[in-house]
């Protein structure tokens, strides 16, 4: 049996932290001030910790309250999301997806309108990967190495290319590689090795992988590269539109097949659901277009 404070206590705690007032928290939750104050006292007794200190300007959160608050907020968010999922009018058509961030913004999002046109009954919810352990989902598109996709359906490898913005050109020519910042993608606290592998494959030993700018996602690197912040080694599939429109240009004909890529993960028991089969078939058909040649600018 779980030893947890009541849901009512947690709701009052979250609202009190937001308003720093028992009376305002009580008003927002449609209870009396004495009830709110009493529940916070009960929560403090349950925890054996002091959560609020009264001051002339109102309530002040203790260190323990500040540690507890983000956990309570995330838990209530997840609970609220689960309740909404159950309340859906037609859950059989509600497709819950977890998608790698750049794949979601650069590849999937532009195609969602087309997917909805093919099946107007399909309702789509994109769930943050940060909630992967806590939220129910139907399908996930993950990013990583082929070895990590065990049990999933491999979709495609990255095709790494060197690109830059035409804004950097001087008299119609891109500056040398070692004169511009390198834009790097972070994997946790360290850089991904996309630059290192591309330079090695290109035989560009004179260009050192040093300095530059670091970003949390490939999507952020793409946006920075478009503005002329530096050169980048990116997945060609994720910058298809930018290459076609001329916002980015290839600086070399070399395309390096990465050991990383994308795969489809379907939880046990979900594979035979009609909405899952529909999305799987659609995704497989759309991924085929990745290998089609595209017209884009290229500069040596």
The CATH number assigned to the domain holding 178 equals 3.40.190.10
Place of tokens 């789509």: 124
Show the tokens assigned to 7.
Answer: 């849901």
Q: What is the pLDDT of residues 182-235, one digit of tens each?
A: 999 988 778 898 999 999 999 988 887 667 899 999 999 999 999 999 999 999
In this structure, is residue 74 part of a structural domain? Answer: yes
Query: What's the structural domain count of the chain?
Result: 3
Please tell me the predicted confidence (pLDDT) of residue 130.
55
Residues 165, 145 share a domain? no
What is the pLDDT, as a whole number, of residue 93? 76
**Residue 38 is part of a domain; what is its CATH number?**
1.10.10.10
Model confidence pLDDT, tens digit, residues 56-70: 778 999 999 999 999
Decide if 183 contacts 155 (C-beta within 8 A).
Answer: no
Same domain assignment for residues 218 and 247: yes
Q: Is residue 300 part of a domain?
A: no
Per-residue DSSP letters for 176-199? PGGGSPEEEEEETTEE-SHHHHHH
Task: Answer yes or no: is pLDDT of 87 > 70.
Answer: no
> Is residue 1 assigned to a domain?
no
Rounded-to-10 torsion of CA 32, 38, 43, 49: 130
- Residue 147 shares a structural domain with residue 19: no
What is the reported pLDDT for 211? 74
The pLDDT of residue 124: 87
User: Are 269 and 238 found together in one domain?
Assistant: no
Q: Give residues with Cβ within 8 angstroms of 136, minimum separation 6.
A: 82, 85, 96
- Checking if the pLDDT of 91 tops 70, the result is no
Confirm whether 135 is domain-assigned. Answer: yes
Which pLDDT score is estimated for 298?
46
Give the structural domain span for 223.
Answer: 158-258
Residues 162 and 254 grouped into a single domain: yes
Tokens representing residue 58 in the block = 């109102």
pLDDT of residue 296: 43
Dist CA 85 CA 134 (whole Å): 13
* Proportion of the chain above pLDDT 90, given as a percent: 57
**β-strands 182-187, 153-164 pairing:** unpaired
| 18 found inside a domain | yes
Residues 147 and 287 in one domain: yes
Q: Is 194 found in the same domain as 271?
A: no
Tell me: the pLDDT tens digits for 104-144?
999 998 888 888 888 777 888 887 665 555 567 889 999 98
Distance CA 84, CA 40 (A): 27
Q: Are residues 19 and 141 in the same domain?
A: no
Q: Is residue 298 part of a domain?
A: no
Average pLDDT over residues 278-282: 91
- My answer on whether 46 and 78 are in the same domain is yes
Domain check: are 128 and 267 in the same one? yes
pLDDT of residue 235: 95
pLDDT averaged over the chain? 86
Same domain, 225 and 279: no
> What tokens were used for 289?
């277009």
Average pLDDT value for residue range 266-288: 88
Please indicate, yes or no, whether residues 281 and 202 belong to a single structural domain of this protein.
no
């Amino acid at each position: 049996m779980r030893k947890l404070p009541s849901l009512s206590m947690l709701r009052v705690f979250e609202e009190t932290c937001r308003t720093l007032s028992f009376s305002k928290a009580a008003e927002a939750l449609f209870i009396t001030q004495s009830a709110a104050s009493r529940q916070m006292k009960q929560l403090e007794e349950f925890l054996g910790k002091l959560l609020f200190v009264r001051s002339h300007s109102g309530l002040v959160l203790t260190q323990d309250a500040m540690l507890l608050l983000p956990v309570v907020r995330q838990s209530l968010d997840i609970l609220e999301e689960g309740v909404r999922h159950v309340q859906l009018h037609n859950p059989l058509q509600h497709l819950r997806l977890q998608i790698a961030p750049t794949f979601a913004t650069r590849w999937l999002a532009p195609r969602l309108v087309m997917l909805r046109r093919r099946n107007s009954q399909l309702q789509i919810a994109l769930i943050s990967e940060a909630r992967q352990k806590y939220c129910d989902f139907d399908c996930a598109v993950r990013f990583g190495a082929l070895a990590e996709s065990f049990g999933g359906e491999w979709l495609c490898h990255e095709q790494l290319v060197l690109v830059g913005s035409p804004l950097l050109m001087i008299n119609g020519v891109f500056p040398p590689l070692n004169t511009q910042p390198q834009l790097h993608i972070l994997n946790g606290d360290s850089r991904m090795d996309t630059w290192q592998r591309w330079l090695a494959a290109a035989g560009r030993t004179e260009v050192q992988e040093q300095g530059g700018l670091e970003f949390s996602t490939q999507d952020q690197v793409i946006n920075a590269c478009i503005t002329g912040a530096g050169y980048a080694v990116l997945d060609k599939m994720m910058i298809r539109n930018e290459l076609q429109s001329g916002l980015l240009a290839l600086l070399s004909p070399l395309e390096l097949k990465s050991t990383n890529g994308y795969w489809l993960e379907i939880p046990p028991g979900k594979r035979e659901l009609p909405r899952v089969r529909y999305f799987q078939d659609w995704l497989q058909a759309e991924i085929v277009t990745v290998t089609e040649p595209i017209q884009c600018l290229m500069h040596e």
